[in-house]
Amino acid sequence: MEEIYLVLIFLFVLFLLLGTGVWVGLALFGVAYLGLEMFTSRPAGDAMLTRIWTGSSSWTLTALPLFIWMGEILFRSRLSQDMFRGLSPWMQRLPGGLVHVNIVGCTIFAAVSGSSAATLTTVGKMSIPELRKRGYPEYMTIGTLTGAATLGLMIPPSLTLIVYGVAVEQSISKLFMAGILPGIVLAGMFMAYVAGWSFLRPKEVPTIANRMSFSEKLRESRFLIPIILLILVVIGSMYGGWATATEAASIGVIGAFVLAAAQGSLTKETFIDSLLGATRTSAMIALILMGATALTLAMGFTGLPRALAEFIESLQLSQFSLLMALMLFYILLGMFLDGISSVVLTMAIVQEMVIGAGIDLIWFGIFIVIVVEMAQITPPIGFNLFVMQGITNHEMGYIAKTAIPLFLIMVLMVFVMIFVPELATFLPENMRGPRG
């Protein structure tokens, strides 16, 4: 019973601070300080400073700002226009037509961004005006884009997977590899939904204005070559064991600069804006991570994670029952917190449960990312809903409604992952070299 009171006190203080508008990172610091002062004999200040410095000086974390910077550079380049020009000739003949550009475009940009918001903004800038001009239904344009942009959280380089890997002390490179096949499968399921829509409502699919020959399609595809080469170099260097995640991120930043320069979009203003954007995002995530580190320390001294893990174990839940409970828990939590905050806030407790249930931590990283993706498109705090509202000025309820089919597909993907775990474990288990 004592542990339940502790949980209630921690949650009350946390939501009180968040409700007053305090930043997530500072709210976590506040809960950690209260826990150490009230329920342990440790000096809160010294203990927190030591643990925060140890956690923040991790070399693995250097990959985070580098991947963010790479995405910021490409976000400010002419990538979006080139992607639409290269993809549309191949997509327009598929069932559902150019709506597939939303999904394939998000899949490609996710592989150089790591952020669902950046993916949504970049692909949205290119596809929404074009699809509207060609007469595609607004609900399909908005819904598929809002849902497919969540692939930025799964397909490497994923910021959420970096944060998760640091929190549970797992190889970032292996987590990146684990996200590739599930990301491709999920993108395929989204495309199957678009194809199904075209068969059920063929009158809503605009007719193709002009057909291109195969040679013309190949000629237009040259605009995709630079970005695909960058993806292959970044991911291939990790999979081949030639580079760690941090080294691959450095290669990605250099490649992004070269690509932007070749496009003529690398200016002094672009450079400064990309650097400031990366700094703001990195600082925000770093503050959350430091707060979570302090909270993990406080929980460890109170014995709360161990006690809760023992309580869960005493319930004799099967792996499937535990995963279902965690899925519902993270969907509810994601209604009020962003994905990274949800992961770092809960991992101190959840990790013990997962290990106790015999669940592979690499596989669980992909599971948790899929569930966090769902939270990106669920009101009231679904982050992708806010971004899409800013782009289109549609009401939040309308955007959420258009994304419901994509949400249900993600739920289906969770079950696919549970029954076919090799989707997430095959590539990490067959990576070359021991590099992390």
Residue 435 has a pLDDT of 47
Average pLDDT over residues 379-402: 78
Asked if residue 120 belongs to a domain, the reply is yes
Residue 362 has a pLDDT of 93
Instruction: Give the separation between CA 174 and CA 431, rounded to whole angstroms.
Output: 8
Asked if residue 188 belongs to a domain, the reply is yes
Residue with tokens 């502790």: 6
State whether residue 434 is helix, strand or coil: coil
Judge contact between 134 and 209, C-beta under 8 A: yes
* Overall residue count recorded for the chain in this entry: 436
Best-predicted range by mean pLDDT among 188-192, 207-211, 266-270? Answer: 188-192
Q: Concatenated DSSP letters for 205-260?
A: SPPPS-PPPHHHHHHHGGGGHHHHHHHHHHHHHHHTTSS-HHHHHHHHHHHHHHHH
Residue 260 has a pLDDT of 84
Strands (E), 124-239: none
Convert 33-81 into a string of H (helix), E (strand) and C (coil).
HHHHHHHCCCCHHHHHHHHHHHHHCCHHHHHHHHHHHHHHHHHCCCHHH
Instruction: Give the separation between CA 187 and CA 189, rounded to whole angstroms.
Output: 5
- Buried b or exposed e, range 242-262, using 16+ CB within 10 angstroms: ebbbbbbbbbbbebbbebbee
Indicate if the pLDDT at residue 348 is higher than 60. Answer: yes
Give the number of other CB atoms < 10 A from CB of residue 57: 8
Asked if residue 305 belongs to a domain, the reply is yes
Asked if residue 378 belongs to a domain, the reply is yes
Asked if residue 435 belongs to a domain, the reply is no
Asked if residue 436 belongs to a domain, the reply is no
pTM of the model: 0.76
Burial of 42 (0-12, 13-18, 19+ CB in 10 A): middle
Domain that holds residue 416: 2-429
Residue with tokens 């993809």: 87
Asked if residue 381 belongs to a domain, the reply is yes
Residue 415 has a pLDDT of 94
Average pLDDT over residues 194-206: 89
Average pLDDT over residues 382-398: 78
Lowest mean pLDDT among 48-57, 269-278, 341-350, 403-412: 48-57
DSSP, res 223: G
Higher pLDDT pick, 338 / 98: 98
Higher pLDDT pick, 337 / 192: 192
Asked if residue 286 belongs to a domain, the reply is yes
For the chain, how many structural domains are there in total?
Answer: 1
Lowest mean pLDDT among 19-23, 308-312, 373-377: 308-312
Give the number of other CB atoms < 10 A from CB of residue 41: 7
CA 414 and chain centroid, separation:
15
Average pLDDT over residues 357-380: 85
pLDDT tens string 102-117: 898 888 877 776 677 7
- Residue 186 sits at the vertex; the CA angle it makes with 181 and 188, to the nearest 5 degrees, is 95
Indicate if the pLDDT at residue 436 is higher than 50. Answer: no
pLDDT tens string 236-280: 887 777 887 778 888 888 988 888 888 787 888 888 988 888 888
Residue 434 has a pLDDT of 45
Residue 306 has a pLDDT of 63
Q: Rounded to whole angstroms, what are the CA distances from 368 to 161, 304, 350, 364? A: 9, 22, 11, 6
State whether residue 305 is helix, strand or coil: helix
Q: Residue 110: which of 147, 142, 81, 137 has the closest Cα?
A: 147
Burial of 53 (0-12, 13-18, 19+ CB in 10 A): exposed
Residue with tokens 């630079």: 226
